[in-house]
Amino acid sequence: MSDWITRIARRLGRSYVVLVALGVVLGAAAAPVAYDAATATEGTVAVVPLEGTIDGESAAAVSAMLTEARQDPSVDAVVIVANSGGGGAAASETLYFQTKRTAERKPVVASVDASAASGAYYTIAPADAIYAKPASVVGSVGVIATLPQDLEPNDIVGTTGPNKLTGGDRREFLYVMESLQRAFVSAVTEQRGEALELSRAELEQARVYSGAQAVEVGLADRIGDREAAIREAARRAGLDDYEVRVLRPDNASVRFLSRSNYLASDAPNRTIVSAEYLVGDGGGGPTFLMVSPLYVDADELRAVEARRVTPTNATAANGTEVGDAPG
**All residues at 6 or more sequence positions from 87 whose CB lies less than 8 Å from its CB, including other chains:** 53, 54, 55, 58, 119, 120, 278, 289, 290, 291
The rounded percent of the chain whose pLDDT value lies above 70 is 69
The rounded percent of the chain whose pLDDT value lies above 90 is 56
Q: Domain for residue 33, yes or no? A: no
Q: What is the DSSP string of 145-194?
A: EPPPPP----SS---SSTTTTT-S-HHHHHHHHHHHHHHHHHHHHHHHGG
Q: Domain for residue 15, yes or no? A: no
Q: Domain for residue 18, yes or no? A: no
**pLDDT recorded at residue 277:** 83
Q: What is the DSSP letter of 118?
A: T
Find the distance separating the first CA and the last CA of the chain, reported in whole Å: 135
Q: What is the DSSP string of 275-315?
A: THHHHTTS-SS--EEEE-TTTS-HHHHHHHHHHHTSGGG-B
What are 202-257's pLDDT values in tens digits?
A: 999 999 999 999 999 999 999 999 999 999 999 999 999 999 999 988 777 899 98
Q: What is the DSSP letter of 195?
A: G
Query: For the purposes of burial, counting CB atoms within 10 Å of the CB of 123, is it exposed (0-12), middle (13-18) or buried (19 or more)?
Result: buried
**pLDDT recorded at residue 320:** 35
**pLDDT recorded at residue 307:** 60
Instruction: Compute the distance between CA of residue 51 and CA of residue 246 in angstroms, rounded to an integer.
Output: 13
**pLDDT recorded at residue 321:** 36
pLDDT at 259 over 80: yes
Number of neighbouring beta carbons within 10 Å of residue 143: 24
HSE value, Cβ hemisphere, 13 Å, CA-based, for 69: 34
If DSSP codes are grouped into helix, strand and coil, which group holds residue 134?
A: coil
Q: How confident is the model at residue 78 (pLDDT cuts 50, 70, 90)?
A: very high
What are 36-71's pLDDT values in tens digits?
A: 444 457 999 999 999 999 999 999 999 999 999 999
Q: Domain for residue 318, yes or no? A: no
Range of lowest pLDDT (69-73, 125-129, 143-147, 188-192): 143-147
Residue 105 lies in domain: 42-313
Mean pLDDT for 273-285 is 72
Asked if 85 and 294 count as a contact pair (C-beta separation under 8 A), the reply is yes
Q: How confident is the model at residue 194 (pLDDT cuts 50, 70, 90)?
A: very high
Amino acid symbol at 19:
L
Beta bridge partners of 291: 86
* Phi and psi, residue 272, nearest 5°: -105, 130
Instruction: Report how many domains make up the chain.
Output: 1
Q: Domain for residue 325, yes or no? A: no
Q: How confident is the model at residue 73 (pLDDT cuts 50, 70, 90)?
A: very high
Most confident of 135-149, 239-253, 281-295: 239-253
CB crowding 106-118: b at 16 or more within 10 Å, else e: bbbbbbbbbbbbb
Mean pLDDT for 181-195 is 95
Q: Domain for residue 155, yes or no? A: yes
What average pLDDT does the chain have?
Answer: 80
**All residues at 6 or more sequence positions from 200 whose CB lies less than 8 Å from its CB, including other chains:** 185, 189
Mean pLDDT for 12-35 is 42
More confident residue, 327 or 128: 128
Report the CATH number that the domain containing residue 171 is assigned in CATH.
Answer: 3.90.226.10
Q: Domain for residue 12, yes or no? A: no
Q: Domain for residue 47, yes or no? A: yes
What are 80-139's pLDDT values in tens digits?
A: 999 999 999 999 999 999 999 999 999 999 999 999 999 999 999 999 999 999 999 999
**Sign for the pseudo-dihedral over CA of 308, 309, 310, 314:** positive
More confident residue, 10 or 35: 10
